[in-house]
């Protein structure tokens, strides 16, 4: 058996060292790398199963560390009334969230899960939290600064339970009092609803002075990611039927139901809860391309539903 030459041996060693080095260093975990570079690096490493899992949000009642580890789940939520235990303390909440998070971090790529919760008038799922009036009550105050302070107080209490984002605010413009959730709307007047989006910088923090208008932003450990919800036109459904179709002209859709969404995005809202694409008529493919883009493309992160 012939001997390997010294140059060839050196080349082999170099190749092995490169493989080991690349296996140990992952760009997506390096905070010094540009965000786009980190995202691209992570995506090219992900399998189809991991991508599907990351786009899935499950309810707390079925979420365990093992479930997240085995299915690569990207998000967990607590809907209205979903709690880890009756009269659960903040410590019980944080222990639950941390336990689920350990499952996510133990996966091959170690992608953290995002936990979200309904906090529409304070941290209303949590025993002992500060409860504020529903949106219909806040709307009659006509006081955006008060609503901003309520947002800041809510964010602080949510973060105290280990949760980083909330399903709030609801910026529906309730146009039919038969809708059983009209109390979630600040007003039937879109101008009032638009002014109440000031709760967003309360929840997320004020955009830095030099920040690009509309850039997504969360201002530290006492703030949360907000979610402008539910979908454009949700307060104007036919006969007030919940989550039904909104039959409306394009002009009314954009003039009445869209302004609060525009304002929310300008204030850096990170999330927009969407519903099935036939929620409004005429359907998007009947609109001009720029109108369709306005409805479908105005968010940085979408939480798809139905």
Residue 270 is part of a domain; what is its CATH number? 3.20.20.300
Token representation of residue 267:
């204030």
Q: Lowest-confidence range among 147-156, 241-250, 265-274?
A: 265-274
pLDDT score at 286: 53
Which residues span the domain enclosing 246? 118-303
- Inside any domain, residue 159: yes
Confirm whether 92 is domain-assigned. no
Position 274 scores a pLDDT of: 57
CB-CB contact of 176 with 137 (8 Å)? no
The rounded percent of the chain whose pLDDT value lies above 70 is: 81
Q: Is the pLDDT of residue 20 over 50?
A: no
Highest mean pLDDT among 168-177, 243-252, 273-282: 168-177
In a domain, 156, yes or no: yes
* Amino acid 14: pLDDT: 46
Number of structural domains found in the chain: 1
**Residue 12 banded pLDDT, cuts 50, 70, 90:** very low
Residue matched to tokens 């998070």: 101
Q: What is the rounded distance in angstroms from the CA atom of residue 201 to the CA atom of residue 151?
A: 8
41 vs 61: CA distance, rounded Å: 33
As a 3-state breakdown, the chain gives helix, strand, coil percent values, each rounded to 5, of: 45, 10, 45
pLDDT band per the 50, 70, 90 thresholds, residue 211: confident
Cα–Cα dist 50/47, whole Å: 5
Per-residue pLDDT reduced to its tens digit, 64-93: 999 999 999 999 999 889 999 999 999 999
Please report whether residue 82 resides in a domain. Answer: no
Distance separating alpha carbons of residues 196 and 22, to the nearest angstrom: 49
Asked if the model's pLDDT at residue 175 lies above 70, the reply is yes
Structure confidence at residue 294 as a pLDDT band (50, 70, 90): very low
Residue 220 lies in a domain: yes
Question: What whole-number distance in Å separates Cα of residue 212 and Cα of residue 17?
Answer: 42
Q: Which of 232, 205, 202 is nearest to 217 (CA)?
A: 205
Beta strands in 118-264 (DSSP E): 165-166, 227-228, 246-247
55 located within any domain: no
Mean of all residue pLDDT scores within the chain: 86
Q: Are 84 and 91 in contact, with CB atoms under 8 Å apart? A: no
């Amino acid at each position: 058996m012939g001997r390997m030459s010294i140059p060839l041996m050196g080349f082999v060693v170099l190749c092995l060292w490169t493989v080991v080095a690349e296996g140990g260093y992952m760009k997506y975990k390096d905070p010094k790398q540009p965000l786009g570079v980190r995202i691209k690096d992570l995506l090219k490493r992900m399998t189809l199963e991991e991508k599907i899992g990351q786009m899935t949000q499950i309810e707390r009642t079925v979420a365990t560390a093992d479930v997240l580890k085995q299915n690569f789940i990207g998000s967990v939520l607590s809907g209205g009334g979903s709690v880890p235990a009756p009269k659960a303390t903040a410590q019980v909440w944080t222990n639950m969230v941390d336990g689920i998070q350990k499952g996510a971090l133990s996966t091959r790529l170690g992608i953290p899960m995002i936990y979200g919760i309904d906090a529409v008038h304070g941290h209303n799922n949590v025993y002992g939290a500060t409860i504020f009036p529903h949106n219909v009550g806040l709307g009659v105050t006509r006081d955006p600064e008060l609503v901003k302070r309520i947002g800041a107080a809510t964010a602080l209490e949510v973060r105290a339970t280990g949760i980083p984002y909330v399903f709030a605010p609801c910026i529906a413009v309730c146009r039919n009092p038969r809708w059983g959730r009209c109390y979630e709307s600040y007003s039937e007047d879109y101008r009032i609803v638009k002014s109440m989006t000031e709760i967003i910088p309360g929840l997320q923090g004020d955009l830095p002075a030099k920040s690009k208008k509309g850039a997504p932003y969360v201002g530290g450990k006492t703030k949360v990611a907000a979610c402008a919800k539910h979908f454009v036109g949700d307060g104007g459904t036919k006969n007030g039927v919940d989550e039904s179709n909104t039959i409306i002209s394009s002009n009314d859709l954009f003039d009445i139901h869209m302004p609060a969404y525009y304002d929310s995005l300008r204030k850096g809202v990170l999330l927009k809860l969407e519903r099935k694409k036939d929620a409004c008529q005429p359907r998007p493919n009947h609109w001009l391309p720029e109108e369709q883009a306005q409805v479908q493309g105005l968010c940085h992160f979408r939480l798809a539903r139905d």
